[in-house]
Each structure stands twice: as structure tokens, then as C-alpha cells.
Amino acid sequence: MKRLAFCLTLFSAVLAAACSGGSSTPLPPPPVGNFSNASLKGQYAFLMSGQDIGGFFARVGAFIADGNGNITGGVEDVNTALNGEQTLSFSASTYSISADGRGTIRLTNATGTLIFSVTLNSSAKGIIAQTDGIATTSGTFILQNPNTFTQTAVSGAYVFDTSGIDPNGNPDSIIGQFQASGGGTLVSGVLDENDGATPSGAIAFTTGVYQLDAANGATFGKGTVTFAGLSYIFYIVDGTRLRFMETNSTALTLGDAISQSGSIPTTNSGFTGSFAFLLGGSGLSGPLTRAGRFTSDGNGNLSTILLDDNNTGSFNAVPKGTLTNAVYSIDPNFPGSGRGTATFKDSSLGTFSFIFYLTSPNGGVFQDNSNGVVADGSLLSQTGGPFSNASLAGNYALTWSGISSNTSTGATAEEDFVGQLVVSSSSSNNSSGVMDFSEFTSNQGVFLDVGISGGLALSGDGTGRNMFSVKTNNSPSTTFNFTAYIVNSNTILVVGSDSTRVIAGTLSRQN
């Protein structure tokens, strides 16, 4: 799934500190897996966002790994509050990957050397978090296909999801669909923007332009696209995915555009099955994360609805009261766009409203338009159930992001985690692994090679609400409690259920 582009760096909730500095850290368990430096070979497009001393910032770009521990080149576009937009080239740099897929990438540009912790899902993709104490960012990197670095490769229908901040620093989410001609123009499109908790409704557009960058287009797949008053830098992964970062604006949003595939539903009857979702953004009082699931019946009705909501440390599980008005609709005004709406009302918590755009019949992007909320993320078809401890056993790359606060100083900032978790077939105490993380509210700031243990406890057949916890093995230790929703045997969505933090992320099987 796409990196969850949380607006979590924007908010000032006062939450308890997760970890303290000066702790002792036992040696982590030995790495489990078959990865090595040779597993990272080729050209990769990355997308990251986070927080530095100036506030929210983002970077998008590409690097080349030679399979022997060397980064032989690359380029990035960075947008920060302190320095504005910059294009920077990478000089000779290095990386190392251990057997569990965890490792370090050091990228050197004109500003110095940046250090990132990574975990590979496979040789084609991975997760990444900055762990040099300069800033805290997180995101993903994906293997590029240089044969697609052409204008004609950008062709057909794409669904996009970008989020970040508007020119006034308010949280902003933009999702939609466009049709690319393959010749440098966009011939149609529609989008929904939720800017500062004011949803726009569907906005249609009929024109747009895109082109490859003269300096870095042919080598790194860089280009620019403009539509509906928005301008983005993009990097081509291949013909099916582009990585976006807003440019030429005091606003800053970023995300991915993914080509539509399969038979996109044009009526309610085409949208059936069970779906899980994960969202991050802002609520009325601060940072918010949500995860859940529902079943659509092909007739516009939703059932078996579950939702877990952490709004500035206040946790609620839906249904809390009685659920009514649980419906969905595939928008007939934009046939083929994949646009739809979903709503339900909890008698205790109020109405929940969502917009989605489908990349396929099996899922897409999901925007929360509930009262006072700006959030977005992914909607994914649940398949392969019922789930069991045996079917879920394996090695997972873990990533989650959130907000923490130091109760002594009152400082509030982002925290980003990456690592590996090994899940066994036992019914309890079945998880162990190692992670790295940045936590700028702590005295230490950066934590490396922290051993973790815990458990994934399934409820019923595993298709609903499950419990997941992780405890750090340093001293003093910290326990992270989550609700988990299983998408399939390869992907698990998690949302924090502690009152002391707002956090969410994914577990994705390594291969």
C-alpha cells in the first residue's frame, strides 16, 4: 500500500513521552531472513515526509544501488519551510543490508550526509525512516523501470492521493482520478479536496499538461504535471505508478498516482465484498488515526462495520451505539472514475462520511470527510480469510508513524519506526524482532537496533478487530498497543489504541 501520508506532524496534542533517553539497550536477537547487500540493486524512487526544525517538509527522488553496498548516483527534490524547494544530486554514497532486510542507507548531497534506516519487503521495495537526528521522516522506496521514462508511458487512467498542508498550514487532502493521453496532456479528471475540514465535493477538470524534466527525465524519470490549479513534481516508478510532490506553491502535499486496472465499477452492483481501511490525519482537537472494515452488498448497503478511532489520544471503537444509515454509492456522474461515497451513523459517536476512488474492484484511496476531520489513506479488499495464527506466521516489515510528547518539557513532535517482526504460529507471545526509530520528543532522539517482543491475538476468524502489542526490550521499556485489521496473509493494518500516543501503520510480509 501506499505510505500512509499522515498530517501527523502538524498538530500539537499533549501526549505522554514514549521513551526516555539514557536507557540501556540489550543486544537484539540475531537477524532472521535471506537478504543481503545484493538484495538492493537497481534504481529506486522514494517518497518521504516528516518534520525538521522548520516544521513539515517532504522529499521525493531516486537513487541507484549497485548490489555491493554503493549508491552510485541519484537526485532528490526537497521542500522545507526553511529553504523552500531544492533539487539536489547524490554523490557517491553507501548502504548495508543485513539478513533480516534491515539496514542503513547513507545519502550524500551538497548539504551533507543523510542517514536512513530501511527494511526491505523484497528486492523491489522497502520502507525507510530518517535516523540521523537531523530530521524525522518516513516513507517508501520502489524499484523503477528506466524503460518507462518516457512521456508515452504515462498513459491511461490514474487514481491519485496526496496530503499535507495548504498555504496557511492547515491539513489538506486531495484524492481523484485523471486520464493521461500519453502525449503530454490530461484529457479529463475529477478530484475531491478536504482542506481544513471543509470538503470541496467533486471538482471536474478537462485539461492538464505533463512533461519530463529536461535534466533528469531520461535518467531518473522526473517530470512535472499541472491540473486543476495544482502543480506537482513526479518521478516515474513504471507505467503504473508515479510519485508526486506539490511544487510552485506555498502548499505542500505529496503522494502517489496509481493506474486503474480491471473492471472499475460504474454501479453499486460492481462494488461488493469485504474491505479494510487505514486513515491518518487530523481531528477537531489534534492528530487522528482510524482503521476498520465493512462489507458492501452490491445494492448500496454496508454491514459488519467496525472502526477504531484514536483522536488525540482519545480512543473509541465503533459500533459504540446503534449503527444506522449504513450505505454506499458509486457516483453515476463520473462513470469509470471509480468515485464513490460511504456513510454510516453511530448513535453515540455521530456520522462517519467517506469518499473513495477505486484503482481496481479490489480497493483504492479513501478520504475521511466526517465533521471536523481531514484524513486519508487506503481501502483494501479483505481476501484469504478465515485467518489463523498458522496462516499469518512469517517475517514482516513493520512501519508506523505518530505523534509523541515529552511530559517533562511539553515538546510535541513526530515519531517514525521501521523494522522487522517475526510472527510465529503460537496463539500468544508470538512476535519478536528489531526496530529503529526517531522520536524527537525524547532526550535521546534516535533509537537503533531495539529488540521487540509481543503478540498478535486473533479474534474469531481474524477478519474483524484483532489485538496486537509490541514491547521494547530496552530499559525502561515501552509497550505499544494496537488494534489490527488483516487485509490478507501478507498485509496487516494497525492503529494505536493507547491514550498516550496517536500512531498507525502496517505489517507487510517479506519475500
Q: Answer whether residue 509 is part of any domain.
A: no
Report how many domains make up the chain.
2
Q: Which candidate, 452, 444, 439, 446, places its Cα nearest to that of 8?
A: 439
Q: Answer whether residue 29 is part of any domain.
A: yes
Q: Answer whether residue 110 is part of any domain.
A: yes
Do 214 and 133 sit in the same domain of this protein? no
The whole-number pLDDT of residue 25 equals 63
Do 126 and 180 sit in the same domain of this protein? no
Cis amide leading into 335 (omega within 30): no
Do 203 and 246 sit in the same domain of this protein? yes
The whole-number pLDDT of residue 505 equals 97
Q: Which residue has the cell 489504541?
A: 497
The conformational region for residue 148 under phi > 0 = left, psi -120 to 50 = alpha, else beta, is alpha
Q: Answer whether residue 198 is part of any domain.
A: yes
The whole-number pLDDT of residue 183 equals 97
Going 131 to 241 to 503 to 15, the CA torsion angle's sign is: positive
Choose the final residue of a domain: 259, 275, 299: 259
Residue pair 425/456 in contact (Cβ under 8 Å)? The answer is no
Do 171 and 219 sit in the same domain of this protein? yes
Q: What is the CATH number of the domain that holds 211?
A: 2.40.128.120
Q: Answer whether residue 491 is part of any domain.
A: no
Residue pair 254/246 in contact (Cβ under 8 Å)? The answer is yes
Do 16 and 76 sit in the same domain of this protein? yes
Do 126 and 211 sit in the same domain of this protein? no
Do 124 and 213 sit in the same domain of this protein? no
* pLDDT tens string 251-266: 999 999 999 999 999 9
Query: Could you tell me whether strands 91-97 and 102-109 are parallel, antiparallel, or unpaired per DSSP bridges?
Result: antiparallel
Is 171 exposed, middle or buried (CB count within 10 Å of its CB: 0-12, 13-18, 19+)? Answer: buried
Q: Answer whether residue 390 is part of any domain.
A: no
Q: Which stretches of the chain score pLDDT less than 50?
A: 1-22
d(CA 174, CA 160): 8
Choose the final residue of a domain: 259, 278, 307: 259
d(CA 304, CA 161): 27
The whole-number pLDDT of residue 24 equals 56
Share of the chain above pLDDT 90, in %: 83
Q: Answer whether residue 357 is part of any domain.
A: no
- Give the 3-state secondary structure of residue 44: strand
Do 90 and 64 sit in the same domain of this protein? yes
Do 212 and 120 sit in the same domain of this protein? no
The whole-number pLDDT of residue 8 equals 35
Whole-model pTM: value is 0.94
Range of the domain at 26: 8-145
Do 134 and 177 sit in the same domain of this protein? no
The whole-number pLDDT of residue 123 equals 98
Choose the final residue of a domain: 88, 113, 145: 145
Q: Answer whether residue 336 is part of any domain.
A: no
First to last CA, the chain: 16
The whole-number pLDDT of residue 404 equals 76
Calculate the alpha carbon distances from 93 to 70, 102, 282, 309, 445 in Å.
6, 18, 37, 42, 24
Do 134 and 210 sit in the same domain of this protein? no
Do 62 and 161 sit in the same domain of this protein? no
